[in-house]
Amino acid sequence: MLDGKNAIVTGGSLGIGTAIALDLAKNGANVAINYRRHDKEAKEVVAEIEKMGRKGLAIKADVSSFDDAQKMVTEVSEKFGGIDILVCNAGINRDAVIWKMEEKQWDEVMATDLKGTFNYCRAVAPVFREQKHGRIVNIASINALRGKFGQTNYSAAKAGVVGLSKALAKELGRSSVTVNVVCPGMIETEMMANIPEEFKQKARDETVLGRIGRPEEVAALVTFLCSNAARHITGEVIKVDGGQYI
């Protein structure tokens, strides 16, 4: 499906990012991931990619840094011989009700979740325009669409990702570049480890399927959107939430 394609996945050392990186590799792509702290996990992801016979690369880079994004795109392009796919997955949450939220909590989420997406889209856009092809998939959240109590920063940042992606789809469409958004609901990842069981149960109860999603279920959609089968799909926002949003 993606034989010979070269991909970047931000935040690829854990959770949904790891699942996306491995699924892209399973379907034929060479994959570079970025990470900030999880050196061991990043190396393990690269090892798994290489076991599949693909090229793997892990680069320590801060997604909130404009310069880091430019440098990573250049390095991956040189080592892989080009870039065809960008998946902006890196994200954090710093939850608090707005009357208790500190400026730092707001700024950190905006810098990673929204500016980080901009940084990498900005870095690949000239490359994709020049080569007249490319796939961009940005990971947002159902809370970008509905809002969530205690997550004004996260909901706002992810809503920004949706708006950014729709505008970018219009800007890059004439270059045969597609830009789409995937909005997961509650997904079983490391980020869920500290969530009280009552909140997990509430998420289950919100879904029509009665369960919490798996990272691999998000990854499968991302891989499809990066494939030639999705060449006529752009500017779309697709939920993977078991009906949690309904």
Active site residues: 154
Quote the CA–CA distance of 21 and 175 in Å, as a whole number: 25
Closest alpha carbon to 82 in 25, 137, 131: 131
Quote the CA–CA distance of 212 and 223 in Å, as a whole number: 21
> With DSSP H G I counted as helix, E B as strand and the rest as coil, what are the percentages for the chain, rounded to 5?
50, 15, 35
Closest alpha carbon to 125 in 87, 184, 172, 58: 172
Strand order in the sheet with 85-88: 56-60, 30-35, 6-9, 85-88, 134-139, 177-184, 237-240
Both tokens assigned to 244: 């949690």
Do the Cβ atoms of 157 and 110 come closer than 8 Å? yes
